[in-house]
Amino acid sequence: MKKRICIVGSGIAGLQLAYALKEDFEVTVIHHRSPDEIRDGRIMSTQVHFGSTRAREKRYQMPKAKVENLLESIHITIGTKKLFVGMLKEPALSVDQRLYYTDCMNDLEKQGVAFHRKRVEKENMKTLIEQYDLVIDCTGKSGPLLPFPLEKDLSPFHLPERKCIVGYFTGIKPNQPLGVNVNVLPGQGEMFEIPAVTEQGPVTILFVTAVPDKQLDVFKGITDEQLFTEQMKVITQNFFPDIYNRINEEQFALCDNKAFLQMAITPVIRRPYVTYHDKLVLGCGDSVFLNDPISGQGCNLSSYCAEQLADTLIEFKHSTWDSQLGERYWNRTKTFVKQVTEWTNAMTQPLPEHIVQMLMEGVQNQEIADGVAGWFADPSTAHQDFFQTTKSNS
């Protein structure tokens, strides 16, 4: 008899786990919104699927996004000075989560994965745990459902370092070569320009990460789509002229009336396993590994950890599932979680002098420029450049 696994949450971690585990286990996904409600609802954030994540999606035969033009590059701008364009080794893509998640949910249901629609509260966890051999908390930013232990060394912040303002827009001419445009405004925050695909067609995501109470933090209290659009146009004109010069004012608009979002998160990393009422409970994705969005690694970290967790469960599917299994899973993910988190946390602070020097060298050296682009596709290289270089120079 197959072991029964309950996944709470239907974001990138929960959905990839369902695909990865469905042949070896009896999988149930619990979520509180129907596919139609997700598809017709508000955007949830932004996601860029870099090469490694796309390879995992291919491994698990997840739905392939219908994207004509993939992202090939990372454009780097400091202040108003465009430095360089670094090329990615493998193309990336960005898809509206409302579209991608519902496609995955409908596909999984056709393949026999059970979906139960209900909201799980912390006080219901004991009953839920008794019904399954294992419960995995994939509740994302709204989680966790249980007190997974805090990793203090990786969780230095007590308040959000950035306010995140996101809009999906039409009417912006894409950068060439097509890619993510990273604009750093020292002391104020960042603007990420991301070509993406939605149900309505191609859009440009404008994603502002504003230092609280500084010049980019000007969206407080805005809930109207027209006011949001006007304010976004104002800050591009004032701070990001390259983007503003590519805006067609007659066509510049949100792609739908729910295509904007504001949020602020406090990054926190937790040990992804806990024993609750004598049974192992695991966590995966943002519920336990919540990083600041500034490095764009939410999707990729969740995907990586979901793969490591799935491989661990399949390897030990005939063993007793206790804290030793949780420790194996944590040991398999810990190094990468640490690399992503330390790099991401460093990105929220003034850039180290040697990194500024590297960016300046990238203007004349395409190999360095491509290496910087590689930070976002493989954050272990960013961690090496930020920290190992510092140690070797000290």
Same domain (yes/no): 172, 219:
yes
Distance CA 235, CA 233 (A): 6
**∠120-326-148 over CA atoms, to 5°?**
45
Per-residue confidence (pLDDT) for residue 134, from 0 to 100: 98
Q: Using only C-alpha atoms, what is the Rg of the chain?
A: 21
Distance CA 135, CA 29 (A): 10
Same domain (yes/no): 167, 147:
no
Per-residue confidence (pLDDT) for residue 7, from 0 to 100: 98
Same domain (yes/no): 26, 138:
yes
In a domain, 81, yes or no: no
- Give the DSSP letter string of 44-69: -----B-HHHHHHHHHTTPPPP--SS
**∠252-253-254 over CA atoms, to 5°?**
145
Label residue 393 by pLDDT band (50, 70, 90): low
Is the predicted pLDDT of residue 65 greater than 90, yes or no? no
Question: Mind listing the pLDDT tens digit for each residue in 111-156?
Answer: 999 999 999 988 889 999 999 999 999 999 988 999 999 999 999 9
Helix pair angle (298-315, 51-59), 10° resolution: 40
Per-residue confidence (pLDDT) for residue 66, from 0 to 100: 83
Sheet holding 134-137, edge to edge: 114-117, 26-31, 4-8, 134-137, 279-283, 273-276
Per-residue confidence (pLDDT) for residue 391, from 0 to 100: 52
Distance CA 284, CA 17 (A): 9
Calculate what percentage of the chain has a pLDDT beyond 70.
98
Q: Which residues contact 380 (CB under 8 A, 6 or more apart)?
A: 336, 339
Least Cα distance to 82 among 184, 178, 174, 172 occurs for 184
**∠161-163-169 over CA atoms, to 5°?**
140
Same domain (yes/no): 185, 332:
no
In a domain, 82, yes or no: no
In a domain, 112, yes or no: yes
Distance CA 312, CA 307 (A): 9
Number of domains in the chain: 2
CATH at residue 225: 3.30.9.40
**Would you call 194 helix, strand, or coil by DSSP?**
strand
- Segment 239-245 mean pLDDT: 97
Per-residue confidence (pLDDT) for residue 381, from 0 to 100: 98
Distance CA 359, CA 82 (A): 11
Distances (CA, A) of 125 to 44, 77, 110: 25, 47, 28
Full domain range(s) for residue 317: 4-63+96-157+267-347
Domain boundary among 240, 263, 286: 263
Are the C-beta atoms of 179 and 72 separated by less than 8 Å?
A: yes
Label residue 190 by pLDDT band (50, 70, 90): very high
Cα four-point dihedral sign 146, 266, 226, 250? negative
Place of tokens 């696994």: 5
Question: Mind listing the pLDDT tens digit for each residue in 244-291?
Answer: 999 999 999 999 999 999 999 999 999 999 999 999 999 999 999 999
Same domain (yes/no): 152, 222:
no
| Mean pLDDT value across the chain | 96
Distance CA 251, CA 254 (A): 9
Burial of 14 from C-beta contacts in 10 A (0-12 / 13-18 / 19+): buried
Burial of 302 from C-beta contacts in 10 A (0-12 / 13-18 / 19+): buried
Q: Which helix (H) or strand (E) holds 180?
A: strand 179-185
Is the predicted pLDDT of residue 392 greater than 70, yes or no? no
Are the C-beta atoms of 316 and 328 separated by less than 8 Å?
A: yes
* pTM assigned to the model: 0.96
Is the predicted pLDDT of residue 394 greater than 80, yes or no? no
In a domain, 296, yes or no: yes
Is the predicted pLDDT of residue 38 greater than 60, yes or no? yes
Question: Mind listing the pLDDT tens digit for each residue in 214-226?
Answer: 999 999 999 999 9
In a domain, 90, yes or no: no
Q: Which helix (H) or strand (E) holds 75?
A: strand 71-78
Same domain (yes/no): 36, 170:
no
Same domain (yes/no): 8, 109:
yes
Per-residue confidence (pLDDT) for residue 88, from 0 to 100: 98
Same domain (yes/no): 275, 140:
yes
Structure tokens at 147: 């007190």
Distance CA 30, CA 2 (A): 19
Is the predicted pLDDT of residue 389 greater than 70, yes or no? no
Distance CA 295, CA 32 (A): 29
Is the predicted pLDDT of residue 339 greater than 90, yes or no? yes
Phi, psi dihedral angles at 199 (to 5 degrees) = -60, -25
CATH at residue 116: 3.50.50.60
